[in-house]
Amino acid sequence: MLGAPGSGKGTQASALGKRLGAAHVSSGDLFREEQGNGTELGLLAKGFMERGELVPDEVTINMILGRIKRDDAAKGYILDGFPRNLAQGRALDEALASAGEAGIDSVVFMGVSETELMKRLGGRWLCRAQQHPYHVVSAPPKVEGICDIDGTELYQRSDDSEETARRRLEVYNEKTVPLVDYYREKGLLVEVDGERSIEDVGKQLTAVL
């Protein structure tokens, strides 16, 4: 799943994984898991993420390759947040080929305007327990500040501040946009309108995949 921060790729990847019986592999969730456990990897990643910058490629690549070897990914997986640049895309292709595994089947690109992205990022909140996403405008919780699903407190990540959000979009435009062209040239890219409702985007994905 490719798309700018705030494009909704995480929400759609999770739902799509459940429909297909595939593992939802989120690089952001994996890094936060490491941070929560206080590991060296987590502390390293934290500084980059809070500045809205990408974690170094070699760290991310090794982490993702380890994740897709878990049992729940045996029937397939959906990558969310990785790869984010050409080096990672090529490294992923090489790693899968070296392991004798099938390559990527499809690459979904969630198209959303920068104006809409800033609106979404500034109002995004997550629950403490499972990172369930909410938005003050488009997807508010039933009770302010409380997760509908598990009842835990909602919080706003430091990397969702306006200043950091703008920096994240700058990094995305510089590093990730060329990856869209890379997959388009390989004939793998599937484009969807990420500005439609969550339900409509899900229907688009189901139809095209």
Q: Out of 9, 32, 67, 120, pick the active-site residue.
A: 9
Q: Out of 32, 67, 120, 168, pick the active-site residue.
A: 168
Residue 193, classified by CB atoms within 10 Å of its CB into exposed (0-12), middle (13-18) or buried (19+), is: exposed
Q: Virtual CA dihedral for 71, 74, 76, 78, nearest 10 degrees?
A: 20
196 carries an active-site annotation? no
Kind and range of the H or E run holding 185: helix 177-185
Q: Out of 157, 166, 167, 175, pick the active-site residue.
A: 157
186 carries an active-site annotation? no
Structure tokens at 159: 């990397």
Give how far Cα 164 sits from Cα of 48, 63, 82, 138, 170, Å: 11, 24, 20, 21, 10
Q: Out of 32, 67, 84, 120, pick the active-site residue.
A: 84
Which residue is it, tokens 């809205």?
52
- Work out whether strand 77-80 and strand 23-26 pair parallel, antiparallel, or are unpaired: parallel
9 carries an active-site annotation? yes
168 carries an active-site annotation? yes
124 carries an active-site annotation? yes
Structure tokens at 206: 């189901």
Rounded Cα distance between 177 and 9, Å, is 15
Q: Which residues are catalytic?
A: 9, 84, 124, 157, 168
